[in-house]
Amino acid sequence: MFWPFLFVVLGFVFLIIGANSMVNGASALAKKFNVSDLVIGLTIVAFGTSAPELVVSVIGSINNYSDIVLGNVIGSNNFNLFIILGLSGLIVPIKVQSSTAWKEIPISLVVSVLLFFLLNGFAVTEYGRLNRVEAVILLVLFCAFLYYVFKQMQSDSLEQNTHDNNKTLLKIWGLIIGGLTGLVIGGQLVVVYSVDIAHNLGVSEKIIGLTIVAAGTSLPELVTSIVASLKKNSDIAIGNVIGSNIFNILLILAISGTIKPITYNYKFNIDILVLIGGTVFLLIAMMTGKRKVLDRWEALILLCFYIIYTLTIVIPAT
């Protein structure tokens, strides 16, 4: 058991270093085109920090580990929403722009509800599977989201941003390619040895996906958002989380489902409903107390709920 645990930890190290390298390179590339912090958070940073989930889910899909794929995406989204926003909001109350409060958060909610209906067979095709037709639908919606962000970027009045503009294109692409390499290696290690641990302990792949894999692949989002909060950059902090949650469903599940149809375990319904409920709570938080602010007491509620929710998952499985 020692070696599988060691290789999982090593995989997470590769994921974190790879994601950090990719985010730095991608952010530097974006800032050369004078893009706002919110747009960077919703796109470049969100994609970079979601890259571990992408790699883990694609590898899981190729190896036919549907519970790892779903557990990774749904678990990561819950971790992002409850733990990352909870911790970030405890450090500094998170102020958000109007577009985030009234557009991006509702988009994230609609996407989560759509996923619930697709997986439960209330939509296009099969009952209990995310097949290629539904995966393509998610990809089309992802393209629509990117178009929305692009239009928002055009409407933003941006100040000239010179940060990181001194990096050469060679250095920037070196960071991006090096980061992707680390992500691929780390993703392979995490998937293979997490499944090995699950089998040895008699724990289901669903539990491993929702907890160990989800938390591990969400570490880049956690580090990014906490650092952003400490620097009082709320746009990066919340844009990273909301953008990542949208990316995870519309892009990562879509790519995984396109590679191989994903068999759905109905025990995930509770976890998706938790995600929907948490997003509704975040939307309500934007309307109550200080408007368009996630206050510390609201952040504490997110954290406490997640701890209770995780205990209800793990204790029955032990």
- Give the pLDDT of residue 162: 47
CATH number of the domain to which 106 belongs: 1.20.1420.30
Number of domains present in the structure of the chain: 1
- Structure-block tokens of residue 297: 């007491």
Number of residues in the chain: 318
- Give the pLDDT of residue 164: 46
In a domain, 125, yes or no: yes
Which tens digits make up the pLDDT trace of 132-184? 889 999 999 999 998 888 887 776 544 444 454 567 888 888 888 888 788 87
- Structure-block tokens of residue 256: 């995984």
Q: Are 22 and 48 in contact (CB under 8 A)?
A: yes
Give me the chain's average pLDDT, please.
Answer: 84
pLDDT of 47 strictly over 50: yes
Which tens digits make up the pLDDT trace of 265-301? 888 999 999 999 999 999 999 888 777 888 999 999 9
- Give the pLDDT of residue 249: 95
Which tens digits make up the pLDDT trace of 235-272? 778 888 898 899 999 999 999 999 999 988 888 999 99
In a domain, 304, yes or no: yes
In a domain, 161, yes or no: no
Determine the average pLDDT of the residues in 2-13. Answer: 88
- Give the pLDDT of residue 126: 54
In a domain, 285, yes or no: yes
- Give the pLDDT of residue 290: 79
pLDDT of 305 strictly over 70: yes
- Give the pLDDT of residue 160: 45
Residue with tokens 């992802």: 142
Confidence tier at 65 by pLDDT (50, 70, 90)? confident
In a domain, 163, yes or no: no
In a domain, 20, yes or no: yes
Task: Let me know if 192 is exposed, middle or buried by CB neighbors in 10 A (0-12, 13-18, 19+).
Answer: middle
Which tens digits make up the pLDDT trace of 72-128? 999 999 999 999 999 999 988 888 877 777 888 999 999 999 999 988 876 545 567
Considering just the CA atoms, what is the radius of gyration of the chain in Å?
19
Q: Are 256 and 58 in contact (CB under 8 A)?
A: yes
According to the 3-state scheme, what is the secondary structure of the chain? Answer: CHHHHHHHHHHHHHHHHHHHHHHHHHHHHHHCCCCCHHHHHHHHHHHHHHHHHHHHHHHHHHCCCHHHHHHHHHHHHHHHHHHHHHHHHHHCCEECCHHHHHHHHHHHHHHHHHHHHHHCCCCCCCCCEECHHHHHHHHHHHHHHHHHHHHHHHHCCCCCCCCCCCCCHHHHHHHHHHHHHHHHHHHHHHHHHHHHHHHHHCCCHHHHHHHHHHHHHCHHHHHHHHHHHHCCCHHHHHHHHHHHHHHHHHHHHHHHHHHCCEECCCCHHHHHHHHHHHHHHHHHHHHCCCCCEECHHHHHHHHHHHHHHHHHHHHHHC
In a domain, 196, yes or no: yes
What is the rounded distance in angstroms from the CA atom of residue 268 to the CA atom of residue 103? 27
Which tens digits make up the pLDDT trace of 193-229? 887 887 788 888 788 888 888 887 787 778 778 877 8
- Give the pLDDT of residue 281: 96
In a domain, 237, yes or no: yes
Residue with tokens 């004078």: 34
What is the rounded distance in angstroms from the CA atom of residue 269 to the CA atom of residue 275? 10
- Give the pLDDT of residue 304: 96
* 291 phi, psi to nearest 5 deg: -65, 140
Domain extent, residue 89, equals 2-156+168-317
